[in-house]
Chains A and B, each alone.
Chain A
Amino acid sequence: MKNKYSVFSLIKNALSQHENWQQAWGNPEPKKEYDAIIVGGGGHGLATAYYLAKKHNLKNIAVLEKGWIGGGNTGRNTTIIRSNYLWDASAGLYDHALKLWENLSQELNYNVMFSQRGVMNLAHNLQDVRDLKRRTHANRLNGIDAVWLNTEEVKKFCPIINTSPDIRYPVLGGTLQRRAGTARHDAVAWGYARGASDMGVDIIQNCEVKGIKRNGDRVEGLETTKGFIKTNKIGVVAAGHSSVIANMAGLKLPLESKPLQALVSEPVKPIINTVVMSNAVHAYVSQSDKGELVIGAGTDSYVSYTQRGSHNIVEETLKAILELYPIFSRMKMLRQWGGIVDICPDASPIISKTNIKGLYFNCGWGTGGFKATPGSGDLFAHTIANDEPHKLNAAFNLNRFVSGDLVDEHGAAAVAH
């Protein structure tokens, strides 16, 4: 690492009023040709470039970003990290990511503020109880820590939850994954950008892809707002805009892009020490280090690329939050925003080759991609470098929609998608 961050570099820079910190990543103009180009400079795209350079010894790599890095869904999510998924394939994928999270700040020499404060999923009816207990058992068989808590234990773990039996959706218990938690989402993008840039990856911002040049069944390069760039490997990590890029190559994907909203409150003193999610009423909440409540709402039901979302969705979420946490009734909300999420019919991602040689897609993360950032990048880099999936992402191929071998996490995962 060129400029290693440490307590000594902090002291040294403090002496010069913090005016001499070097840029964390470069700002190059695109070269004429690259060995591989990653389309999309969010967390997943930057992580892909990072692992391509680090583990697969590809050095001539570019990341193209139409806006600024981390300005899409990486900076718009609610930063929750967990791996308590029902099916074996998902458990393998998300727990691989969680294990990378545990050492990510050291790996990147960048504090991603990973905090294993636990994620609790609440059950509000008997079917929820059965489903969540089943998921707890499935998790433990896959080596993922998960425990079932009864109502008193839920109350003990998070005292501000209203566990009165006479509310509309009473809390009948919940599951807890203690290794789960949150991280600082911008830091993840910045850390990977710095790490990748350090190994010679060109991070090119304000560069939008306008077309994909094909020669028969293989790719030859990209038309961009900064001119034509030649390459024979393109990894697309464009989240909500994946279908737009796919259409340029004449490809159709099983995706629908919809607005997903989140909001934060005014900052207050520490009041909630974990992440609490509720599938049935679709409300989840945690508290940022700044003290804001971070609240995730649902998706709109229609395709839209507007990055806003409907008022009624926020209203429904806040109603549920208020019933579960009456203490928040006078809290003011500061900001609300939307991001465009690409949702797969089975609510599982696609990390896959396509039938066009040299074109790879990492998409379909829907409402829950942030938690997978390091794992997604690692496995996608493997897929691009070897032209074959890693065994952990083999199930997440594009062909599963033809074969019918879906990884159906709709409702099976810990939260509605």
Chain B
Amino acid sequence: MFLINCPFCGERDQSEFSSGGEAHIVRPKQPTELSDDDWAEYLFMRKNIKGIQFERWNHVHGCRKWFNVVRDTSNDKILSVYKMGEKPPVNYK
């Protein structure tokens, strides 16, 4: 339970948003050439970090736009919000 600062609408309750999970997982460029191991990595394996995680959210009950969030999963504090396509902030590792 926390507030998310949507880059398009401003600060709203988390219940307005839908979580899209880990961010920056790149869709395979040539799916036909992918090995089973690479498919498993892309589809299923997740960092599932306890700490600072880069993730996607969708303002599903608002502007319906996707964007990225940097959040500490150990205390749900949001550290940064940035739009899709923008470079992730470098000061969090």
Which chain A residue shows the least CB distance to B35? A402
**Are A301 and B18 CB-contacts (below 8 A) given A254-B46, A403-B36?**
yes
Q: Is A5 an interface residue (CB 8 A)?
A: no
Check A256 against B44 for contact (C-beta < 8 Å).
Answer: no
Give the total of A residues in contact with B, Cβ under 8 Å.
27
A404–B39 Cα distance when bound, in Å, is 10
Q: Is A2 an interface residue (CB 8 A)?
A: no
Q: Is A332 an interface residue (CB 8 A)?
A: no
Check B1 against A303 for contact (C-beta < 8 Å).
Answer: no
Check A401 against B44 for contact (C-beta < 8 Å).
Answer: yes
Stretch from A86-94, A304-312, A367-375 forming part of the interface with B: A304-312
* Interface bits A220-259 vs B (CB < 8 Å: 1, else 0): 0000000000000000000001011001000011111100
A308–B75 Cα distance when bound, in Å, is 10
CB distance from B74 to the nearest CB of A (A): 5
Q: Is A291 an interface residue (CB 8 A)?
A: no
A304–B51 Cα distance when bound, in Å, is 9
Chain B residues near A243 (CB-CB < 8 A): 46-50
Q: Is B21 an interface residue (CB 8 A)?
A: yes
**Are A304 and B46 CB-contacts (below 8 A) given A310-B1, A311-B1?**
no
Chain B residues near A257 (CB-CB < 8 A): 48, 50, 73
Q: Is A345 an interface residue (CB 8 A)?
A: yes
Q: Is B90 an interface residue (CB 8 A)?
A: no
A345–B22 Cα distance when bound, in Å, is 14
Chain B residues near A8 (CB-CB < 8 A): none
Check A303 against B21 for contact (C-beta < 8 Å).
Answer: yes
A305–B49 Cα distance when bound, in Å, is 9
Check B50 against A241 for contact (C-beta < 8 Å).
Answer: yes
Give the total of B residues in contact with A, Cβ under 8 Å.
26
A305–B36 Cα distance when bound, in Å, is 31
A303–B49 Cα distance when bound, in Å, is 8
Check B46 against A256 for contact (C-beta < 8 Å).
Answer: yes
Which chain A residue shows the least CB distance to B38? A402
Chain A residues near B53 (CB-CB < 8 A): 303
A243–B76 Cα distance when bound, in Å, is 18
Give chain A interface residues in 313-358, CB to chain B under 8 Å. 342, 345
Check B46 against A309 for contact (C-beta < 8 Å).
Answer: no
CB distance from B28 to the nearest CB of A (A): 15
Chain B residues near A302 (CB-CB < 8 A): 14, 19, 55
Check A303 against B44 for contact (C-beta < 8 Å).
Answer: no
Check B36 against A402 for contact (C-beta < 8 Å).
Answer: yes
Chain A residues near B15 (CB-CB < 8 A): 310, 312
Which chain A residue shows the least CB distance to B48? A243
Q: Is B40 an interface residue (CB 8 A)?
A: yes
Which chain A residue shows the least CB distance to B53? A303
Check B45 against A401 for contact (C-beta < 8 Å).
Answer: yes
CB distance from A118 to the nearest CB of B (A): 35
Give chain B interface residues in 28-71, CB to chain A under 8 Å. 36-37, 39-41, 43-50, 53, 55
Chain B residues near A309 (CB-CB < 8 A): 1
A342–B50 Cα distance when bound, in Å, is 12
Q: Name the residue among B46, B48, B50 with the largest chain A CB count within 10 angstroms.
A: B48
- The 8 Å CB contact of A303, one of B18, B40, B43, B55, is B55
CB distance from B22 to the nearest CB of A (A): 8
Check A303 against B48 for contact (C-beta < 8 Å).
Answer: yes
Check B14 against A310 for contact (C-beta < 8 Å).
Answer: yes
CB distance from A82 to the nearest CB of B (A): 27
A312–B49 Cα distance when bound, in Å, is 24
Check B46 against A306 for contact (C-beta < 8 Å).
Answer: no
Check B14 against A305 for contact (C-beta < 8 Å).
Answer: no
**Are A402 and B74 CB-contacts (below 8 A) given A257-B48, A301-B18?**
no
- The 8 Å CB contact of A252, one of B21, B36, B46, B74, is B46
Some 11 contacts from A to B, beta carbons below 8 A apart, are A253-B45, A301-B18, A303-B19, A303-B21, A303-B55, A303-B73, A305-B50, A345-B44, A401-B44, A401-B45, A402-B36
A-contacting residues of B (Cβ < 8 Å)?
Answer: 1, 14-15, 18-19, 21-22, 36-37, 39-41, 43-50, 53, 55, 73-76
Besides the known contacts A256-B48, A305-B50, A305-B74, 18 further A-B residue pairs in the complex with CB atoms under 8 A apart? A243-B47, A243-B48, A244-B50, A247-B47, A247-B49, A252-B46, A252-B47, A254-B45, A256-B46, A301-B18, A303-B48, A306-B73, A306-B74, A312-B1, A401-B44, A402-B36, A402-B39, A403-B36
The 5 closest A-B pairs by CB, nearest first: A243-B48, A254-B44, A302-B19, A310-B1, A402-B40
